[in-house]
Amino acid sequence: MNRKIKGIAASSGIGIGKVHLIGKEEFPIALRKISLEDIPPEILRLEEALIKTRRELIEFQKEIESNLDQDHAQIFDAHLLVLEDRILIEDVITRIKKDKVNVEYAFQQVAKKYIDTLARLNDEYLKERAIDVQDVAKRVLRKLLKKEEGKPSLDIKDKAIVVAHDLSPADTASLPKKNILGFVTDIGGRTSHTAILARALGIPAVVGLARLTLLVSPQDTVIVDGTEGWVIINPSKQVLNEYKEKQKEETRAKKVFYFLKKLPAQTADKKRIILAANIELPEEIPLVLDQGAEGIGLYRTEYMYLGRRDLPTEDEQYTALVNVAKKMQPNSVIVRTLDLGGDKFLSHPEIPTDMSPFLGWRAIRFCLARPDIFKVQLRAILRASKEKNIKLMFPMISGIEELRQAKEMLIEVKEDLRKEKKVFDENIPVGVMIEVPSAALTSDVLAKESDFFSIGTNDLIQYSLAVDRGNEKVAYLYEPTHPGVLRLIKMVIDNAHKEDIEVGMCGEMASEPLCAFLLLGMGIDELSVPPSSVLEVKRLIRSVKFEDAKTAIDEALGFTTHKEVEKGATRFLKNILGSKFNKIIKS
């Protein structure tokens, strides 16, 4: 057959084996009309099912904490929040009363409405929350229908590739790791809790394959390429041998990386760089530590706000932040304040979606306009700063006025905490995320009133080049090596150093080895990349000299097109690295 299907790379590595198929669990529920007298008993059945499901999840959470750790156990907090969502529960009760229908039917219909709404949203993270609601809905429906969970399908006796329509975090964590060679699912994305757990468990995974469960059977052999996102059904002998060789290469590379992660991110001529990681969820900390990152260069706090209809409390945020800070000691954690807008929106009914999300009411603009929300977050960050390794960073600052307004609000919150005798770091470093061209152009002014800079190239590039990177018609114009972009970055770094403050980069550009080489030459102090890219970038840093990188960027800044920049830098690196070039740049 040798059929090759592209999905979403969720957890790196290559798995080869026979299929263990887990079918899609269906709940055929008939509509049953009830009398007025039957309504209270049906509502009581709902409450009992919710209580039983909550107990089940708490027990499972304890089991996960015992087998993995507290971070991964916290994944199930999202499931517990669904059970406590009074809006959802009241919707079900209203449906029972108004339509006089059985509780199973009412619950299924309301849950379906929530799932469908979340699944249609453009934000990938919110789409993944649909899976959380779906998992909880299945558990509640099992209780209402008095059905046992289909655990036998997870009882895998021999080594196999798990193929499923979906795997809940509970299912994923329940898999017998010693027998799992990889897994693939019809649905899901990289930000799903399942994908995070897969990475923590070290299981190669590809998700979002649409109808794969309909294309395979238990006797099939499949290859799961979790690094590139491919699944190959019944590969030919030649393809099979090619991937077995890739597996051997990965094993050899891991042995090299094992020693590499203990070494500093330092060039051959002893120029030291801080190499940190970007995270969205506390559950990613084990992966960050495993890769040897020297801190968190970007903690995206907005993910505490998404996929829910209420706002996170101060204590919720404090608990998450202090947990991350403790886990990362003694390395620093740069906490970016709320960056809602763009492609990330709250589900809260009082906060409408912006008509021009990337250029409109977002990030620091939203926070300054909603001090009721912003101050709660600032309180949580300041309280967590007692760990002495937290830095605070404001996003999308366009000029000195916004920075001063944000700092003034921070001063007010500090004063409130002092009156309440709450402990916090009085000298918490406060930095600016440079992602707007006006901020780059006035970075000399901003540097005088900032403790550090972090360059967010994802937005800086699209704003500078007028390119919506999500629009396939113009995405080809999104070029990190555009001479205009490089000149802006160099200007920011130079202005920061004139004021003796450090400057890092937390955009995706930092994870591209060719770009990282040019950034080295500009004098960047810190690079923060996805956890999976830490060791690859470190290998590049340790393979070159700082003096060579400076020569390369001086040459690159004289070019007029991004193609000239890339060709010049590639040629320069090939001369330096020789036979190692392909391994380092194409890794």
Q: Please state, as a whole number, how many other Cβ atoms lie within 10 Å of the Cβ of residue 88.
A: 20
Helix (H, G, I), strand (E, B) or coil at 583: helix
Is 193 an active-site residue?
yes
Decide: helix, strand or coil at residue 301: helix
**CA 509, 511, 516 angle in degrees (round to 5)?**
75
Q: What angle do CA 235, 236, 238 make, to 5 degrees?
A: 120
Residues 6+ apart with CB under 8 A from 278: 296, 297, 298, 300, 506, 528, 529, 530, 531
Residues 20, 79, 165, 193: which is the catalytic one? Answer: 193
Burial class from Cβ neighbours inside 10 Å (0-12, 13-18, 19+) for residue 158 reads exposed
Burial of 569 (0-12, 13-18, 19+ CB in 10 A): buried
Annotated active-site residue 506? The verdict is: yes
The active-site residue out of 20, 72, 165, 506 is 506
* 275 burial level (CB within 10 Å; 0-12, 13-18, 19+): buried
Spatial CB neighbours of 386, under 8 Å, sequence gap ≥ 6: 322, 423, 424, 425
Which ranges in 385-436 belong to alpha helices (H)?
A: 400-419
β-sheet bridge partners, residue 528: 276
Catalytic (active-site) positions:
193, 506
